[in-house]
Amino acid sequence: MERQEYIEFILDHYQHPRNKGALEDPDMLVNGGNPGCGDVVTLYVKLDNEDRITDIRFEGHGCTISMAAASFLTEMVNGKKLDEIRQLDYQQLIDILGPEVVKSRLRCATLAMDTLQGAAREYPSRKATGQKLIQPIVLTHTLLTE
Ligand code: FES
């Protein structure tokens, strides 16, 4: 795609976010924060009995790229198992958002994915004790980009 098409893709997700809002009775509810700017994303996730995502919503406030990426992420991961989420590569997301467009904003582009992957890593230990991951934990975004 051309640079302009990537920009339009990002703007479309920012202006018309998919899966925005809260979910009642989620199996995972997590907050992620970008310490550099204070932007945050909250993810609500429903899982089936094989730990496959059956519904995912997001809320948050942040820059255009972080919110557009959160919107797109919800489409990208719906139907995937937590095992697959843990193995996702940032590059897969960056390639879709436009490497040239987001290369200087990688922390923004990956905030929601980093938050979801943190939750996917945390969830098995909660589940082993019979709990959901529904206390709003804050997972600090730690991706080193520069
Ligand atoms: Fe904060 Fe983009 S400037 S996430």
pLDDT score at 12: 98
Greater confidence (142 vs 79) lies with: 79
Kindly calculate the radius of gyration of the chain based on its CA atoms and give it in whole angstroms: 14
Flag whether the pTM goes above 0.85.
yes
Can you give the residue ranges of every domain in the chain? 3-140
Q: Which residues line ligand 1 (CB under 6 A)?
A: 34, 37, 39, 62-63, 65-66, 108, 111
Residue 28 CA to ligand 1 centre (angstroms)? 23
Residue nearest to atom 2 of ligand 1 (CA): 108
Residue 29 CA to ligand 1 centre (angstroms)? 21
pLDDT score at 138: 61
Buried b (16+ CB within 10 A) or exposed e, 18-57: bbeeebeebbbbbbbbbeeeebbbbbbbbbeeebbbebbb
Residue nearest to atom 3 of ligand 1 (CA): 63
Of all residues in the chain, what percent are helix, strand and coil, respectively (each to 5)?
A: 45, 25, 30
Closest to 30 (Cα-Cα) out of 57, 10, 68: 57
E strand map for 69-123: none
Give the separation between CA 34 and CA 143, rounded to whole angstroms: 10
Give the separation between CA 42 and CA 21, rounded to whole angstroms: 9
Q: Is-contact 94 114, C-beta < 8 A?
A: no
Give the separation between CA 52 and CA 30, rounded to whole angstroms: 17
Torsion of CA 53, 40, 64, 57, to 10 degrees: 20
The CATH class of the 3-140 domain is: alpha beta
Residue 144 has pLDDT above 90, yes or no: no
Residue nearest to atom 4 of ligand 1 (CA): 108
From 10, 14, 66, 110, give the residue whose CB has the most ligand 1 atoms within 8 Å, as the site to mutate.
66
Of the listed ranges 34-38, 72-76, 106-110, 114-118, the least confidently predicted one is 34-38
Residue 39 CA to ligand 1 centre (angstroms)? 6
